[in-house]
Amino acid sequence: MNKTHVKQSMTATALLTTAILYGCGSGSFLNNSDSTTKANDANAPLTDEKFNNMNPDFPSFVSIADTTPEGKTWVKLDSMSDEFDSWDDNKWFKSTWNYGVPVFMSTSDENSGVTDGKLWLKATLNESNPDGRWFQTARVHSKAETKYPMYTEARIKTSHISAYTTYWLNNGDINNRDEIDIIENNSNPSCGCKPEYPGQMNSQYFQADSSEEPKTVRKHGNFARANLSDANPLKNVGWNEDYHIYGVWWKDANNIQFYLNGEPAGSVVVGEHLDGKTYDRKLTRDLEIIFDLWTADAPWVGGLPEKSELLDDSVNTAYVDWVRTWKLED
């Protein structure tokens, strides 16, 4: 969807952090040529053992069906990775720019934080907010940014209200932006119009250029969880019922491959647009990671939650167990 309130410029901190991504120990070298990694041939059968023993030092697909290009290695990008043992001010910040009513973005400790090894985002009811913004919630950004070739993945359990739990990449300028939405998942749509949402990984890209027509191009790369392999233990598990691993391999300026629980999911080619035409567009900007939880009174989101659900901590909170990011290097 068109995030019409994307912040207009990145913070100086984010820009400075980007400049030092490869200095002062910001990355750790991971050699994909070891025998364990190469044993996971892309054509080998998928097994329970592979899914239950994914190596955290590599993107999850490396343990399942390794399609890392020959001669390339994955280098951990520590500035955009976190196990969330505690809140790290050097890596993350919160923002308050709003989507449409009824969303009210807050930096309150009531709406986001790190507890018991998890980053959490909670939607709460606050009818004293101005302009009918009773859905009080939170957004968390990485201070660092990066670009292709890269891979990032996060282990997330969504909320179970009619709202999007999100994990996405953006440069922060609504009029001139590159955006990759890894997930915008709603496990409990209220509108009666999106029966596919509880089992669909909603993914897409946007490319906006104020000097071009159309100014914005976008394409969905959605994926049904039912299309995972039978060996995948999370195939029949709801987004809110357990943690799922969502990822994206941003390969180059035009090719983006999404992943779900170690398997290829949807994909998009930059330039392809919803109107069926292909435009000369590319994703080339450095992007930050963003997590947020939000809703809208619109069918494409799935409708609004009940206000009473925002008082129920068993459904109103999304959790991120960890996020891990790598660069693909020679």
d(CA 315, CA 312) in angstroms, rounded, equals 6
Locate 322 and state its tokens: 């960890």
Question: Do the domain assignments include residue 16?
Answer: yes
Amino acid found at 117? G
What domain count does the chain have?
Answer: 1
For the chain, what percent of residues have pLDDT higher than 90?
Answer: 87
Q: Spot the catalytic one: 184, 263, 288, 309.
A: 184
pLDDT class for 27, splitting at 50, 70, 90? very low
Catalytic residue among 145, 153, 179, 288: 179
Residue 153: active-site member: no
Contacts of residue 327, Cβ cutoff 8 Å, sequence gap at least 6: 27, 74, 75, 77, 146, 149, 150
Once rounded to an integer, what is the mean pLDDT over residues 180-205?
98
Is 90 exceeded by the pLDDT of residue 66?
yes
pLDDT of residue 39: 52
- What does the CA dihedral 182, 140, 271, 253 come to, rounded to 10 degrees? -90
SS3 breakdown of the chain: % helix, strand, coil, rounded to 5? 10, 35, 50
User: Tens digit of pLDDT for each residue in 219-269?
Assistant: 999 999 999 999 999 999 999 999 999 999 999 999 999 999 999 999 999
pLDDT at 10: 36
**Could you give phi then psi for residue 178, rounded to 5 degrees?**
-110, 135
Q: Does the residue 298 lie in any domain?
A: yes
Write down the pLDDT at residue 33: 40
Q: How many residues does the chain have?
A: 330
Bigger pLDDT: 23 or 64? 64
| Closest to 202 (Cα-Cα) out of 152, 260, 144, 263 | 260
d(CA 130, CA 329): 49
Q: Is this prediction's pTM over 0.95?
A: no
pLDDT at 44: 86
Please indicate, yes or no, if residue 5 is contained in any of the structural domains. Answer: no
Report the SS3 class of residue 204.
strand
The per-residue DSSP string of 207-270 comes to EE-TTSSSSEEEEE--EEGGGS-TT-TTTT--TTTS-EEEEEEE-SSSEEEEEETTEEEEEEET
Res 41: pLDDT: 75
Q: Is the pLDDT of residue 15 over 90?
A: no
- Residue 2 domain-assigned? no
- To the query of whether residue 145 is one of the catalytic residues in this protein, the response is no
State the residue range of the domain holding 305.
12-329
Q: Are 131 and 322 in contact (CB under 8 A)?
A: no
The pLDDT confidence band at residue 327, using thresholds 50, 70 and 90, is very high
**Model confidence pLDDT, tens digit, residues 92-133:** 999 999 999 999 999 999 999 999 999 999 999 999 999 999
- Please choose, from the candidates 315, 303, 1, the residue with its C-alpha nearest in 3D space to the C-alpha of residue 158: 315
Q: Which residues pair with 90 in a beta bridge?
A: none
Query: Does residue 6 belong to any structural domain of this protein?
Result: no
Tell me whether residue 7 is in a domain: no
161 falls within a domain: yes
User: What is the domain-level CATH number for residue 35?
Assistant: 2.60.120.200
